[in-house]
Structure 1
Amino acid sequence: MTAPASPRLPFAMLMLLLVLGALDQTILATAAPVMARELAGNWPIAWVFSAYLLAATVVITLYGRLADVRGRKPVLLLALGLFLLGSLACALATDLRQIVLARALQGAGGGGFMTLSMLAVTDLFPADEQGARKASLGAAYGLATMFGPLAGSWLVQALSWHWAFLVNVPLGALAWVVLARTLPAAPPARTTDGRASIDHAGALLLAAALAASLLATQHARLGLPAWITAGLLVALGAACTLGFLWRQRRARQPLLPLSLFARKAYAAASLLAVASGVALYAAVAFVPQYLQAGLQLAPTRAAWHLAPLMAGLTAAAIASGRLLRAQWPVARLARLASAAMLLAFASLAAAVRWWPQQPLALSAALAPLGLGLGGMFPVVSMVAQRAAPAQHTGVATAVPVMLRSLGGAFGVALLALLLGQDVAAQMRALHGAAEAYAHGLQQVFAGGMAAALLGFGAAGWLPARPRAAPAGP
């Protein structure tokens, strides 16, 4: 398989896919209240967000395995097709039940965009260019995440909430046609015995484990009673996780080969993915909450205070890709990224302690966090791919993406619990809202510092310059 004469057009379409997928995770932040007023039904509006998150996370590893077995191009086109159908169904929904189900379909497609785009880059560019190209994709994703709430606000005010979904249809259809014509059709990977298949039982167990676990983290938004979370969902998630691990040890063609984690470099990349997920969502979930609930800033103005985070992420992702192309030691780059994240959370904790009424102090502290995250993302992707045998490249690329999402979901759930308890205690002590939130956020940022330290420790397992893994299990 050879790269196309000009890979720029298909690469632009891959970037467009990531932009659309990122927008659909945040664009409803400002459109949801309008949807809740206009749509019939009594389903919680929070399910519109959670349905996408749940479906997108559940399918990540399955897409990686499908890419190994069926080939990357057809699986990417399948994911994009599901995303387009889900977007159209969302736009045409007339009640909350319909749009929740449509969002699940949309997430089932969008959940494959990051993994499959990163895999497609390996079909488009030579090895020495792939780090920089993947960094550009990560930067585009970060910028789109930042501007999602602003885009949603503009679409609702200028047109209607339906356009938050309709905008995906022509752009996604264009990407589908272009990629179908220009993306190289790399042959699917094969195992050493020449056969490859999908572990359907493993896929069902993993889906059930992720679904139960993610629902447990979302119970407050979904209006589920606490006893369901503490009992049924947690127990079901644990049981399915154990069943999945048991199945993976015995399956002839496992969905997720556990032997990958026996490779120190891959285990390190997985831990870095978890750490970066906790760090990213600790900032984007709680800083805007403090700015709006504590300092009473408008949502649009609060969103702009995240600009240093996204600017730093974009710049560092591009720089990291170039450094990797120049054969910079990945362990050193990962340590520098972790150190920047640690500095950022220490600065954020200092800002809410000493300057709680100054949002610009928070904004300034977010810049090194963006630098750290932007530097980390290309390292994780490159190390994960090179540490895995060729027949497992797809699933090896998908797992860190899934772990980043899970790290964010579980990290935010735990930190939100700590924040809520601390804020309630501070309010009972007759402190103001801003002071109470500022005090609680110090625990949140301490959690972010712990994630950064985890990343710093995991960086010690990385080789100076990862080489392609030999074929094998």
Structure 2
Amino acid sequence: MSSTLKTPLVLAGMMLSMILASLDQTIVATAMPRIVQEFQGLSHLSWVFTAYMLASAVTVPIYGKLTDLFGRRRLLIIAVLIFLGGSMLSGLAQNMTQLIFFRGIQGVGAGAIMVNAFAIVADLFPPAQRGKVQGLFGAVFGITSVAGPLLGGWLTDSFSWRWIFYVNVPIGVVALAVIFAGMPRHAAAAHGNGERSIDYFGAVLLTATLVPLLLALVWGGSQYPWGSPEIITLLAVSAVALLGFLWRETKARDPIVTLSLFRNRVFTISVIATFLASLGMFGSILFIPVFAQGVAGFSATNSGLIMMPMMLAIVAGSMFAGQVMSRTGKYKVLAVSGLGIATLGMALFSQVGESTSQFDLIIRMVVMGVGLGFTMPIFTVAVQNAFSHSRIGEVTAGIQLFRTVGGTVGGAVLGGVMNAQLASKLIGIENHPFIVAAKQVSPGTPVVIDGNTIQTFLSNDGQAQIRALIAQAPEAIREQISAAFDQFLEILKTAFSQSIDYVFIIGAALMVVAFAASFFLPQLPLRKSHRPAAEELGVELDAAMGQSDKRHEPDILGKV
């Protein structure tokens, strides 16, 4: 088969694989209120996302090394199989703990899928042509982000939330078939003296850094006070592990994260901006359905429809930015403008409340979507362009690592913020007249007001059940209890809405920092071939890149 015919098949396999990984980041969002209601686990809501992102974050840099050393095809097939196994197990989960663990298995597969997808694009196209394809990949993510909430809501309302995981199986089977048919075996690239090594000890230290940090961020202010021994211990363990990780990376022959990458300003600025922007994106996707269902009272399907404008705007923004970058060779202006628009969108979201109309939500989502769409293809291409082709897997994994960690930390931090704010705003709620009346009507039945019961009170099904019980109360007090329940619901909705506002306020502040950082992003000419950047541009980009150019490897695509 000629390389001309291979290219579309390889891209098709990559896109189908990306559909798997990206669909599962969004299809779960609209089903989460139903899941946490069934498992009574609102306080652990963010961990369903965090486990997925954390597993992906820890494994991404390892995959980045493996894909350069052992080839893309083999790892991609393994990754898809791991992902499908995690999907089936997630659908079979019987409690929140099992679901969180199985989502972690999914994340292990998703990490390899993402690294392979972007690295193979770099194999097929030089930086000057890469923008259009990266924009297309961004559009694939946007399309799955549109389909995800809709499909997730429809499956949840029509069948069961478990089908949001089972639906991955047919997609994964098709993806595997295309990969087998269209992606030939890939010879491993030459590597130094021919020896291969993976810094597994560094991976352990990286895990020991991230897990305690995320636990502290999730539990701080909700389950434990910020100054409690538990939180301080977790942060101390994370800090010690981080120091150990940094030391290890300076000694390892093939480190997980080559610290010399940070000598390159393009890499450093891209990492900062990507990390912070992913916080904002994760916050918006995770908490918009929560707001729509918990405050506005939409069903799971309708809350998925609510998100469609933002996802369509992401598609349009990503494709537009990719085209402009490929035609003009300019990426900095797109990065600056995209982050500026996304910051404005996040600030607008911080003003939503009970009176926010559907039209107001649409305007906010379009603004946010355009800004995020602009940034999707930019930083990956900028970083790949700043280093020689021999390090594509490594630098792609580096930017993907911080994008994933940003989303992981964002879910933990923003989820913790919402839980802590909700708890502080509902102090004394157990003394509300409705709760007092409920205890009188059903003496001996404990009425606990926490995140889980709040989710039940705010759901349409939960309210219908409570009103049915009120209808059975003695006629003399029925109207009084009904009025007290309406007032109780308004208090819950106000507290829920204000807590989510805090999430977006913090997200807006982080996006401002990302926007400011983007002004320092160097604008380098986009290379028109796979030759080393220093050779083509006639300049030394930095000391680290100069070293990598001396050990430049043959074009990986030539060995496919």
TM-score normalised over the length of structure 1: 0.86
1:89-100 map, 5 Å: 89-91=89-91, 100=100
Moved more, 298-307 or 426-435: 426-435
1:279-290 map, 5 Å: 279-290=280-291
**Following the alignment from structure 2 to structure 1, what is the Cα–Cα distance between the partners of residues 334 and 200?**
38
Moved more, 77-86 or 157-166: 157-166
Residue matched to 1:381: 380
1:160-309 map, 5 Å: 160-219=160-219, 230-309=231-310
Please tell me whether the aligned partners of residues 119 and 394 of structure 1 are also in contact (alpha carbons under 8 angstroms): yes
Q: Describe the shift of the 1:417–1:204 C-alpha distance in structure 2 as closer, same or farther (beyond 3 A).
A: closer
Residue matched to 1:407: 406
Please tell me whether the aligned partners of residues 69 and 191 of structure 2 are also in contact (alpha carbons under 8 angstroms): no
Please tell me whether the aligned partners of residues 44 and 223 of structure 1 are also in contact (alpha carbons under 8 angstroms): no
**Following the alignment from structure 2 to structure 1, what is the Cα–Cα distance between the partners of residues 334 and 45?**
41
Deviations 1:50-92 (CA, angstroms, capped at 9, x unpaired): 4433322221111111112212222212211211233344455
Q: Which ranges of structure 2 fall in alignment gaps of 5 or more residues?
A: 430-489, 535-545, 549-560
1:87 matched to 2:146? The reply is no
Residue matched to 2:554: none
1:454 matched to 2:508? The reply is no
Q: Describe the shift of the 1:410–1:192 C-alpha distance in structure 2 as closer, same or farther (beyond 3 A).
A: same
Deviations 1:207-231 (CA, angstroms, capped at 9, x unpaired): 2222333333444899799857503
Deviations 1:85-122 (CA, angstroms, capped at 9, x unpaired): 33344455677766554433222112222221111222
**Following the alignment from structure 1 to structure 2, what is the Cα–Cα distance between the partners of residues 46 and 416?**
6
1:6: how far off? Answer: 4.5
**Following the alignment from structure 1 to structure 2, what is the Cα–Cα distance between the partners of residues 446 and 157?**
32
1:164: how far off? Answer: 3.0
Residue matched to 2:328: 327
Helix, strand or coil at the partner of 2:64: helix
Residue matched to 2:314: 313
Residue matched to 1:121: 121
Residue matched to 1:445: 504
Counterpart code for 1:391 = S
**Following the alignment from structure 1 to structure 2, what is the Cα–Cα distance between the partners of residues 337 and 252?**
38
**Following the alignment from structure 1 to structure 2, what is the Cα–Cα distance between the partners of residues 19 and 196?**
31
1:463 matched to 2:538? The reply is no
For residue 472 of structure 1, the aligned residue among 544, 547, 551 is: 547
**Following the alignment from structure 1 to structure 2, what is the Cα–Cα distance between the partners of residues 143 and 214?**
30
Query: Bigger radius of gyration, 1 or 2?
Result: 2
1:339-378 map, 5 Å: 339-349=340-350, 351-352=351-352, 356-378=355-377
**Following the alignment from structure 2 to structure 1, what is the Cα–Cα distance between the partners of residues 213 and 417?**
19
Please tell me whether the aligned partners of residues 13 and 179 of structure 1 are also in contact (alpha carbons under 8 angstroms): yes
1:296: how far off? Answer: 2.9
Counterpart code for 1:16 = L
**Following the alignment from structure 1 to structure 2, what is the Cα–Cα distance between the partners of residues 45 and 347?**
24
**Following the alignment from structure 1 to structure 2, what is the Cα–Cα distance between the partners of residues 13 and 428?**
53
For this pair of structures, how many residues does the alignment match? 470
**Following the alignment from structure 2 to structure 1, what is the Cα–Cα distance between the partners of residues 344 and 36?**
40
1:5: how far off? Answer: 2.2
Deviations 1:306-357 (CA, angstroms, capped at 9, x unpaired): 22211111101011111111134211111111221122233334x438x943
Counterpart code for 1:270 = V
Please tell me whether the aligned partners of residues 335 and 455 of structure 1 are also in contact (alpha carbons under 8 angstroms): no
Moved more, 69-78 or 292-301: 292-301
Residue matched to 2:396: 397
Helix, strand or coil at the partner of 1:253: coil
Please tell me whether the aligned partners of residues 23 and 148 of structure 1 are also in contact (alpha carbons under 8 angstroms): yes
**Following the alignment from structure 1 to structure 2, what is the Cα–Cα distance between the partners of residues 21 and 388?**
26
Residue matched to 1:154: 154
Q: Describe the shift of the 1:383–1:89 C-alpha distance in structure 2 as closer, same or farther (beyond 3 A).
A: same
Residue matched to 2:478: none
Q: Describe the shift of the 1:51–1:472 C-alpha distance in structure 2 as closer, same or farther (beyond 3 A).
A: same
Residue matched to 2:483: none
1:387: how far off? Answer: 1.9
**Following the alignment from structure 1 to structure 2, what is the Cα–Cα distance between the partners of residues 277 and 258?**
22
Counterpart code for 2:523 = P
Counterpart code for 1:244 = F
Q: Describe the shift of the 1:112–1:47 C-alpha distance in structure 2 as closer, same or farther (beyond 3 A).
A: same
**Following the alignment from structure 1 to structure 2, what is the Cα–Cα distance between the partners of residues 85 and 337?**
37
**Following the alignment from structure 2 to structure 1, what is the Cα–Cα distance between the partners of residues 420 and 89?**
39
TM-score normalised over the length of structure 2: 0.74
**Following the alignment from structure 1 to structure 2, what is the Cα–Cα distance between the partners of residues 146 and 373?**
14
**Following the alignment from structure 2 to structure 1, what is the Cα–Cα distance between the partners of residues 357 and 406?**
29
1:35: how far off? Answer: 6.6
Q: Describe the shift of the 1:186–1:261 C-alpha distance in structure 2 as closer, same or farther (beyond 3 A).
A: farther
1:154: how far off? Answer: 2.8
Moved more, 30-39 or 77-86: 30-39
Please tell me whether the aligned partners of residues 55 and 108 of structure 1 are also in contact (alpha carbons under 8 angstroms): yes
- Tell me the C-alpha RMSD between the 2 structures: 3.6
